[in-house]
Amino acid sequence: MKLNDLKIGEEGLIKKVITKKNIKKRLMDIGFIKGVRVKPILMNRSMTVYKIKGTVIGIRKDDTLDIEVEV
């Protein structure tokens, strides 16, 4: 399933990081890498805030459209 489909509080395991070229590196630096657990904790119109690697990061929904996760 897609990362954007995770509900708040639902943890997912990242399977594949597919996204626009320029944001991919930044996302990976933040921790969005295959095999890492991620959980959405806040959401608004444009952004979702995730708990990942012990940190809390907000990302625009548009930038994570194609990231695949499994629950």
66 is a site residue for another protein (CB under 8 A):
no
Token pair in block for residue 40:
């959405």
For residues 40 and 8, give the distance between their C-alpha atoms in angstroms, rounded to a whole number: 5
Strand segments, DSSP code E, in 1-71 are 12-16, 37-43, 47-52, 55-60, 68-70
58 touches another protein by CB under 8 A: yes
Q: Which of positions 11-50 make contact with another protein (CB under 8 A)?
A: 17, 20, 22-23, 25-31, 33-36, 41-42, 44-47, 49
Q: What residues line the site for another protein (CB under 8 A)?
A: 17, 20, 22-23, 25-31, 33-36, 41-42, 44-47, 49, 52-60, 62-63
